[in-house]
Amino acid sequence: MKRDTKRTTVFTRRALLIAGVEVAALGALAAKLYQVQVIDGRRYALLAHTNRISPRLLAPPRGRILDRDGTPVAANQTNWRALLMVEQTRDIAATLDRFATLVPLADHERARIEREIGRHRRFIPVTLRDFLDWEEMARIEVNAPDLPGVSIDVGATRRYPFDDSLAHVVGYVAPPSEDDQGDDPILALPGMRVGRAGIEKFHEAVLRGHAGVQQLEVNAAGRVIRELDRQDGTPGAELGLTIDSALQQAVLSRLGDESASAVVLDARNGEVLAMATNPSFDPALFNAGVSQAQWVEWTNSRRTPLINKAVAGLYAPGSTFKMTVALAGLEARSLTPTDRINCPGHLDIGDTRFHCWRRGGHGLLDLRGGLKNSCDVFFYEVARRTGIDTIAAMAKRLGLGVKLDIELPEARSGLVPTRAWRRAHGHPWNLGDTIVHGIGQGFLQLTPLQLATMAARLATGRAVQPHLTRSIDGVAQPGATADFWPSLGLPEASLDHVREGMWAVVNEPGGTAPLARLAGPQQLAGKTGSTQVRRVSREAREHGFKSENLPWEFRPHALFVAFAPYDAPQYAVSVVVEHGNAGAAAAAPMARDIMAATLERDPSNRAPPPGPRLAQGPKLP
């Protein structure tokens, strides 16, 4: 009996112990459930919701660029691309291997993808392949179950309807580099492009737009079930340019196969109507990626197709600089319109002889005759009397050797030297330097845009600034009217004397540019120029040297500047033909035809700028 009682007591203790353990376990479980469902319930619900919802940034559409008539010169078109959402695939390497069996990936593409995967956040999709064709897209869609995290995205890519005609003005876009992206997740989005040149680069901030957000519901495997919410990005601003695309094509057609550039300005307000550089390139190639062979071809070309010669090509202005020298002399009173200077064909300074382009000389000439005949000796003497610093100051007033406010990042300011500049380079300025600068040679380096600006300022007497942007999202930009730009502060009589000389160059018998004369009643005033790219010795001159017999790269550049109509100037033109030899023969006929096409189209009478003109002062050089 005692034994049974003892056994019962042991059993009861064991049962109590087991029950206690069970109660403790149930208590701990209840506490944990309370912790999970009550205390941390909201946090876990949020995590569950987060796992179910996959947010994605949406690339904003890039803003369009239009010409002055509203014709798109840079737009967007549909593009298929394959994307990889890293957070939705467990084995990235296996997924890439399977993808490569459908759409082959080169080693450099695979390396690029792996770099982007390591650099970007997991919710940012990585582009596996851009610009898919129909068959590639279909193969990926059919094999979607075997490609976790891979999807087809319908995006937009940049399109340039005018191909190479406006490449140097509009510029081009390309995928952002690692340096561009930094910590900005927008630039890591598939299809994002950044401007690399021209207007695309200058107005990058307003063209890019702002990213949108897409909320997707996904299952446990990360497969997209449905789209829950979508807030599209804000498109970039729409830019209206001053360019007349039809005139641009006419100008390029007239340049033909020459390595040349031409600029057409509205002389009254500085609107750039045409800015042509030949040869050019296809800007769309940079969007998809330029091949090594194409890049080598471009960079090895002597005709430099990638350089916008109109704003980045630097040339000695030659005789087109003589109007600047004349105005400097009139301003300094070292020259009067009636002063007569004798040209025997040369000017001797010490033991150095400076030749006129006409071996026998021009005889006695006044200012009008000096310009009409483009007499070198006349302007040697004016420069000697006036001095280089006074000439340089006048050049800057006319827009030469200064940074113009043109919306092209690659634009250069050129060089108009002074005594101080020469001293800063460790050399004294001497009289011979002044003499050669009197005819636009020496250290002078100017762009075709600056020469067109000079012609516009001579024609109007106002400090017009060339510009390409007419409107941003329909809001007109400054400078739309002539009275917006201040006066140069030059006496009208002095300007008239120079204009009359330019008129005589083209329209009077004996002028140097009869080939520039317009056929109709309207008259053009202009000036020829020819600049050496290598020195011609005295011996060569005495033995009948002819530059046209030289190899192409050693021939002089040919230049011409003009404005028209003469009685009421509207347009200014500059033409530079690289190694064209003579401005009168090569550049002047081109400028004539370009001006005739401009007057025929009369772009200023079409498509007025939208919205009110902004009331703010111009920036002067």
Q: Which residue has the higher pLDDT, 212 or 209?
A: 209
* 17 is a domain residue: no
Q: Given a cut of 50, is residue 244 above it in pLDDT? A: yes
Q: What's the CA gap between 150 and 74, in Å, rounded?
A: 30
φ, ψ at 540 (rounded to 5°) = -65, -40
* 610 is a domain residue: no
Q: What's the CA gap between 438 and 422, in Å, rounded?
A: 16
The overall average pLDDT reported for the chain is 86
Same domain for 276 and 343, yes or no, is: yes
Q: What's the CA gap between 424 and 90, in Å, rounded?
A: 65
Q: Which residue has the higher pLDDT, 243 or 143?
A: 243
Which residues sit opposite 84 in a β-bridge? 126, 150
Q: Which residue has the higher pLDDT, 178 or 526?
A: 526
Q: What's the CA gap between 375 and 368, in Å, rounded?
A: 10
Same domain for 98 and 171, yes or no, is: yes
Same domain for 121 and 226, yes or no, is: yes
Residue 617 — very low, low, confident or very high, per pLDDT cuts 50/70/90? very low
Q: Given a cut of 80, is residue 27 above it in pLDDT? A: no
* 529 is a domain residue: yes
The predicted pLDDT at position 311 comes to 97
Stated pTM of the model: 0.81
The tens digit of pLDDT for each residue in 478-524 reads 766 666 889 999 999 999 999 999 999 999 999 999 999 999 888 99
Q: Given a cut of 50, is residue 195 above it in pLDDT? A: yes
Q: Which domain holds residue 139?
A: 54-241
Same domain for 219 and 249, yes or no, is: no
Q: What's the CA gap between 562 and 390, in Å, rounded?
A: 24
Q: How many domains does the chain have?
A: 2
For residue 233, give the nearest of 185, 179, 172 by alpha carbon. 185
Same domain for 232 and 254, yes or no, is: no
Q: Given a cut of 60, is residue 56 above it in pLDDT? A: yes
519, two tokens: 């056929």
* 231 is a domain residue: yes
Residue 93 sits in a domain whose CATH number is 3.90.1310.10
Q: Given a cut of 80, is residue 13 above it in pLDDT? A: no
- As to burial, measured by CB atoms within 10 angstroms (0-12 exposed, 13-18 middle, 19+ buried), residue 193 is buried
Same domain for 517 and 393, yes or no, is: yes
Residue 339 sits in a domain whose CATH number is 3.40.710.10
The predicted pLDDT at position 2 comes to 54
Q: Given a cut of 80, is residue 241 above it in pLDDT? A: yes
Neighbours of 244 (CB within 10 A): 27
Q: What's the CA gap between 434 and 430, in Å, rounded?
A: 7
Q: Given a cut of 90, is residue 177 above it in pLDDT? A: no
* 190 is a domain residue: yes
Same domain for 252 and 226, yes or no, is: no
The predicted pLDDT at position 338 comes to 94
The tens digit of pLDDT for each residue in 418-456 reads 999 999 999 999 999 999 999 999 999 999 999 999 999
Same domain for 266 and 218, yes or no, is: no
The predicted pLDDT at position 377 comes to 97
155, two tokens: 């995006």
- As to burial, measured by CB atoms within 10 angstroms (0-12 exposed, 13-18 middle, 19+ buried), residue 14 is exposed
Q: What's the CA gap between 442 and 317, in Å, rounded?
A: 10
Same domain for 266 and 158, yes or no, is: no
* 3-state secondary structure at position 619: coil
Q: Given a cut of 90, is residue 379 above it in pLDDT? A: yes
Same domain for 216 and 268, yes or no, is: no
pLDDT (average), residues 70-85: 88
Same domain for 374 and 402, yes or no, is: yes
The predicted pLDDT at position 381 comes to 97
* 292 is a domain residue: no
Same domain for 326 and 394, yes or no, is: yes
The residue out of 210, 241, 272 marking a domain boundary is 241
Q: Which residue has the higher pLDDT, 242 or 47?
A: 242
Q: What's the CA gap between 56 and 62, in Å, rounded?
A: 18
For residue 203, give the nearest of 103, 63, 397 by alpha carbon. 63
The tens digit of pLDDT for each residue in 33-44 reads 766 666 655 655
**SS3 of the chain: helix, strand, coil, percent, to 5:** 40, 20, 35
Q: What is residue 238's DSSP assignment? A: P
The predicted pLDDT at position 611 comes to 44
Instruction: Give the percent of the chain with pLDDT over 90.
Output: 54
